A and B are shown apart, each in its own frame.
Chain A
Amino acid sequence: MANQNNGTGTPRVKQGMAEMLKGGVIMDVINAEQARIAEDAGAVAVMALERVPADIRKDGGVARMSDPDMIDEIIATVSIPVMAKARIGHITEAQVLQSLGVDYIDESEVLTPADESHHIDKRQFTVPFVCGATNLGEALRRINEGAAMIRSKGEAGTGNVVEAVRHMRTIRGDIARLKGLDKEELYSAAKDLQAPYELVAQVAELGRLPVVLFTAGGIATPADAALMMQLGADGVFVGSGIFKSGDPVQRAKAIVEATTNFDDPSVIARVSRGLGEAMVGINIEILPATERFAERGW
């Protein structure tokens, strides 16, 4: 905007965008057709990527930012926000995604990290970022770097919700432990969390993160989505769970309805009927440490 009084890319504008997504489902899509299915099903946004995490796992190799042509096509197809993933620390991929006009960048551990010690300085960008976290300290370090939204990491591409539950419970538990601490104790907590004192004090006061907290990684059924909402998520990312299932159209709709009505078991029961096969899934214990995405990032 020409008028300097009109600020684009302010923290309020970036974090406010995530507020609008709350109570919604963000779906991984790999082409325009899937994007349209997601929009028709009531997704609040789509995540454009070349391979869903289950295929990244299966195929191996280096996973990178998607082809700009594919992102353009998805942007042209749907009216809802389009997100895309950049590798951890890959400043240039993020710059390219911003220039393409994506609405949110996911600096994601699902892609192969580009930098082993630095995340992107997200404050330099107009486009907002979402980042993964497994605990409160990690979430606050990302927020300090400018992330406007956090998602619990879970273990993407497994169809197994156990890690998503672990990470959401850890984040919520870490927050609960800050309650009632006095100032000296908060300084000490900030040291333990390896996070800035100001953010730690803010979390203690609010009783929640200062930004929207979604959940991700392994959500495969309507009940999984509702469970994560009951555990305190503001909304849900679903990756492989939809388009790796038997009936993506019905499953996508069902997960949307379950996310809205997460505290009404009769709705969850109704939408869980006749969905066909869920994605097969992987048990986390048999995943070698090198194949665990959640351990990427710090």
Chain B
Amino acid sequence: MLRVGVLALQGDFREHINSLSSLNVAVQKVRNPEELKTVNALVIPGGESTTISMLAQRVGLLEPLRKFVKDGFAVYGSCAGMIMLADEILDGRSDQETIGGIDITVRRNAFGRQVDSFETDLAIKDFKESFRAVFIRAPWVERVGSSVEVLATFKTENKEDHPVMVRQGSLLATAFHPELTNDNRVHEYFVQMAKSVSSVNS
């Protein structure tokens, strides 16, 4: 049975819990290694990636999280969560640790400062209708490894296309915040992903 944890060190974990709760899955907070052991899928919320990374280090969660990813459990990260799942980050703190797992290079605050934060209708692969995507001091993906599938891109003012939603195996990441809208399709997509992964794992 699927039990989804939401990393609850800092950020908008309450909104992710709300989005997941309407999808008929068991949801709980994860704040330490013991709580991580009781879940078989994980969401890393939006927040400040530097803060989340530091707190994860201090409570001894970083290594267990890396192992969780390596063991093939499904993990979804939005915004700061995308940064945490990236193998490489640009414009981060020099000593900023990530969990890693997705073969991408992500640039922090790539769209600019808060005055540049925006919402837009985004086309997502296999979604019939567009998705209202909220980007807040958001990162984008600058390099994509060969085993990474790009599910959505955003064209910036200078016509560059940047991936903003990617998947690699059991790992999913978005630069935007579906948890800030009432549209649960991204969470639904993740739950379906997690269900197929957990049936393989068990």
Q: Which residues of A contact B (CB under 8 A)?
A: 1-3, 5-10, 12-13, 16-17, 19-24, 39, 42-45, 75, 79-81, 98, 101-104, 126-128, 256-257, 260-261
B10 contacts chain A at the CB level, 8 A cutoff: yes
**Residue in B13, B51, B120 whose beta carbon sits within 8 Å of that of A42 in the complex:** B51
CB nearest to B157 among chain A residues: A2
A270 to B114, CA, bound (A): 36
Instruction: Give me 29 A-to-B residue pairs in the complex whose CB atoms sit less than 8 angstroms apart, sorted by A's number.
Output: A6-B119, A8-B116, A12-B181, A13-B118, A17-B114, A17-B117, A19-B12, A20-B11, A20-B80, A21-B47, A22-B10, A22-B11, A22-B12, A23-B9, A23-B11, A24-B11, A39-B93, A42-B55, A44-B47, A75-B113, A79-B50, A79-B91, A79-B92, A79-B109, A80-B50, A103-B115, A257-B55, A260-B9, A260-B31
A287 to B47, CA, bound (A): 38
A101 to B9, CA, bound (A): 28
**Residue in A6, A13, A75, A256 whose beta carbon sits within 8 Å of that of B136 in the complex:** A13
Contact with A along B15-54 (1 / 0, CB 8 A): 1000000000000000100000000000000111011001
B79 contacts chain A at the CB level, 8 A cutoff: yes
A19 to B80, CA, bound (A): 12
A92 to B119, CA, bound (A): 27
Q: How far is the CB of B156 from chain A (nearest CB, A)?
A: 9
Residues of B within 8 A of A128 (CB): 114
Contact B47 A20 (CB under 8 A): yes
Q: A20-B79, A260-B9, A260-B10 are in contact. Are A45 and B119 (CB under 8 A)?
A: no
CB nearest to A212 among chain B residues: B12
Contact B54 A42 (CB under 8 A): yes
A9 to B14, CA, bound (A): 23
Residues of A within 8 A of B137 (CB): 17, 20, 81, 103
Residues of A within 8 A of B8 (CB): 23
* Chain A facing B: main interface SS: loop
B193 contacts chain A at the CB level, 8 A cutoff: no
Q: A1-B157, A79-B93, A101-B113 are in contact. Are A17 and B51 (CB under 8 A)?
A: no
Residues of B within 8 A of A21 (CB): 47-48
A19 to B180, CA, bound (A): 9
Q: A20-B79, A20-B80, A44-B47 are in contact. Are A6 and B117 (CB under 8 A)?
A: no
Contact A44 B9 (CB under 8 A): no
Contact with A along B133-165 (1 / 0, CB 8 A): 010110000000000000000000100000000
Q: How far is the CB of B71 from chain A (nearest CB, A)?
A: 25
Contact A6 B118 (CB under 8 A): yes
Contact A8 B47 (CB under 8 A): no
Contact B58 A24 (CB under 8 A): no
Contact with A along B89-108 (1 / 0, CB 8 A): 00111000000000000001
Q: How far is the CB of B102 from chain A (nearest CB, A)?
A: 21
Q: A22-B14, A79-B108 are in contact. Are A12 and B47 (CB under 8 A)?
A: no
**Residue in B48, B91, B134, B136 whose beta carbon sits within 8 Å of that of A44 in the complex:** B48
Residues of A within 8 A of B113 (CB): 75, 101-103
Contact with A along B52-68 (1 / 0, CB 8 A): 00110010000000000
Contact A16 B80 (CB under 8 A): no
CB nearest to A125 among chain B residues: B115
**Given A16-B136, A23-B10, A23-B11, list of 15 further CB < 8 A pairs?**
A7-B120, A8-B117, A13-B136, A20-B12, A20-B47, A20-B136, A20-B137, A42-B51, A44-B48, A81-B114, A81-B137, A102-B114, A126-B115, A128-B114, A257-B58
Residues of A within 8 A of B116 (CB): 1, 8
Q: How far is the CB of A197 from chain B (nearest CB, A)?
A: 24
Contact A6 B11 (CB under 8 A): no
**Residue in A13, A20, A102 whose beta carbon sits within 8 Å of that of B48 in the complex:** A20
B121 contacts chain A at the CB level, 8 A cutoff: yes
Residues of B within 8 A of A79 (CB): 50, 91-93, 108-109
Q: A13-B134, A23-B9, A257-B58 are in contact. Are A103 and B48 (CB under 8 A)?
A: no
A5 to B131, CA, bound (A): 12
Residues of B within 8 A of A261 (CB): 31
Contact B48 A101 (CB under 8 A): no
Residues of B within 8 A of A257 (CB): 55, 58
Contact A1 B118 (CB under 8 A): yes
CB nearest to B158 among chain A residues: A2
Contact A44 B177 (CB under 8 A): no
Contact B108 A103 (CB under 8 A): no
By Cβ-Cβ distance, the 5 closest A-B pairs, closest first, are A103-B114, A19-B12, A6-B120, A23-B10, A44-B48
